[in-house]
Amino acid sequence: MNLPKVGSSSSSKGSGAINIFWIVLFGVFVVVGGVLIGQLAPSMMPVAGSTQAVQVDQLFQVMLVIGGIIFLLVEGLLVLTVILWRQRKGDESDGPPIHGHRTLELVWTIVPAITVLMLTLYAYTVWNNTRAVMPNEQQVGALGQRFAWTFTYDAGLDDLPPSVDVSTLPDAEMQAKLTGGERVEFQSPQLHTWVGQQVNVLMHTDDVNHAFWIPGMRIKQDLLAGLVTNIRFNPIVPGVYRIVCAELCGGGHGDMAGKVTDNGDLVGAWLIVHANEEDYLNEFYYPEIMSILYPPTDPVELGREVIQDYPCSGCHTLHDLGWTGVTGPALDGIGARTQRVAATGSADMADYIHNSIRNPSAYVVPGYNNVMLQFNPNEGQPNYMPDSDLEAIVAYLLTQTQ
Ligand code: HEC
Ligand SMILES: [Cu+2]
């Protein structure tokens, strides 16, 4: 490299000290420094919980090394220039007029171009690998709604717990469905899977756009109104990972994420990665199936169970279930809010709660906005809630008097 000799005054001795040794030393400093900066990458990221996370983190580390090298090169040259080629006392001269330097210009065009091209190819490969289809994927539905996530699982005859005798099911309709080879669905606010199982999340929204984000898995995918989008991940570390909405979707957007209550319970959207398939079946899948095959006969108990399949938690506070939403009035004490009966001309409290779920716009609680979802009685309608679920939910909410 030819360093232009700056100034003509005899005092510009400093530049004489620049020789190949110092240039090599500076180069070593820049490269070693960049690699060291890259070592910070793991400390900037949460646990890498999936094969996708491992690849994304490697890409991030490579980019951090390159970024570190560029940073030290540019800032290092800046500092060195200020020190070595500063204006000396009594030097009033201008710098030399330099016009063009073809080699230098080629170098600073070609080197960044190749670097960016390589990074593009590398990033594209990671993108492709992390979305690859795998055999025997677990398909889970994810519904994003203001302001909660609902995950849908299904089960056929082959998936039932071995102890279940289908001929004894209390619900004849469900019995016919299962023996006819159809699958039955159930919902959970949590996404469950196990180590080594590739998951394909098929997501849709009933209202505005949301974004499904699990930082621990390094996956994020938008939900686009009117479309079904999907994202895949392959968990490798058992544990509990927070699910977050990453698209500002309204006033309760912040409630569209997993929360931990004061006593350590998980509420809202969490990913639970069980250690193995057996744990997944015994701790989650089978108990959930049993609760739809043999629902509690006590309506209050049933209501307490089924209300958790609906996205109420994102908008309402209810201590019995650990909910903390603030978009609507707290459901704590709803059973005792008898002043609503007169205000709305309802027959009684049960009638009032019934109407506030079937037709929330008919009466808007003072101080709140008319944003509550309307839960409809017919399959195929948006926010479907069968009458049987509604009656149970009303029975349960009537018991919430404090
Ligand atoms: C998008 C946010 C949102 C969701 C989701 C939501 N609500 Fe509401 N809810 C509200 C708001 C806001 C109000 C107050 C305005 C109104 O009366 O419509 C309300 C009012 C109510 C009331 C009347 C409260 C009172 O003090 O009179 C009940 C009961 C209720 N909701 C139950 C539910 C149930 C049960 C679910 C789930 C099945 C649910 N809500 C889902 C926002 C929501
Ligand atoms: Cu959202």
The residue extents of the domains of the chain are 16-85+100-130, 138-294, 309-398
Token digits for 65? 């090394």
Ligand 1 within 6 A of 328 CB?
A: yes
Instruction: Kindly report the backbone phi and psi dihedral angles of residue 209, in degrees, each rounded to the nearest multiple of 5, phi listed first.
Output: -70, 140
pLDDT at 228: 96
Identify the nearest ligand to the CA of 344 by its number.
Answer: 1
Q: Pocket of ligand 1, candidates 245, 361, 365: which has the most ligand atoms within 8 Å of its Cβ, to mutate?
A: 365
Q: Ligand 1 mean position to 273 CA, how many Å?
A: 32
DSSP conformation class of 347? S
Q: Which atom of ligand 1 is nearest to the CA of 375?
A: 38
Q: Ligand 2 mean position to 29 CA, how many Å?
A: 46
pLDDT at 76: 95
Q: Which atom of ligand 1 is nearest to the CA of 397?
A: 29
CA distance 305 to 32: 58
pLDDT at 12: 43
The answer for residues whose C-beta is within 8 angstroms of residue 159's C-beta and 6 or more apart is 285, 289
What type of residue sits at position 255?
D
CA distance 111 to 193: 45
Identify the nearest ligand to the CA of 315 by its number.
Answer: 1
Ligand 1 within 6 A of 340 CB?
A: yes
Q: Ligand 2 mean position to 251 CA, how many Å?
A: 10
Ligand 1 atom 19: residue of nearest CA? 328
Topology of domain 309-398 in CATH is Cytochrome Bc1 Complex; Chain D, domain 2 (1.10.760)
Task: Among 2.40.110.10, 1.10.10.10, 3.40.50.720, 2.60.40.420, name the CATH number for the domain at 138-294.
Answer: 2.60.40.420
Q: Ligand 2 mean position to 68 CA, how many Å?
A: 35
Task: Tell me whether the CATH fold assigned to 138-294 matches the one assigned to 309-398.
Answer: no
The answer for residues whose C-beta is within 8 angstroms of residue 107's C-beta and 6 or more apart is none
Task: With CA atoms as reference, report the closest residue to 153 among 209, 199, 195.
Answer: 199
- Give CA torsion, residues 288, 291, 294, 296, to 10 deg: 170
Q: What is the pLDDT along the chain (402 residues), one digit of tens a residue?
A: 455 554 444 444 444 556 888 889 999 999 999 999 999 998 999 999 999 999 999 999 999 999 999 999 999 999 999 998 888 898 888 888 888 899 999 999 999 999 999 999 999 999 999 999 988 999 999 999 988 999 999 999 888 988 888 888 888 888 888 988 899 999 999 999 999 999 999 999 988 999 999 999 999 999 999 999 999 999 999 999 999 999 999 888 988 999 888 888 888 899 999 999 999 999 999 999 998 898 888 999 999 989 988 989 889 999 898 888 889 999 999 999 988 898 888 889 999 999 999 999 989 999 999 989 999 999 888 889 999 999 999 999 999 998
Ligand 1 within 6 A of 256 CB?
A: no
Q: Pocket of ligand 1, candidates 207, 315, 370, 384: which has the most ligand atoms within 8 Å of its Cβ, to mutate?
A: 315
Report CA-CA distances (Å) from 382 to 140, 145, 147, 247: 19, 11, 15, 22
Ligand 1 within 6 A of 306 CB?
A: no
Ligand 1 atom 7: residue of nearest CA? 372
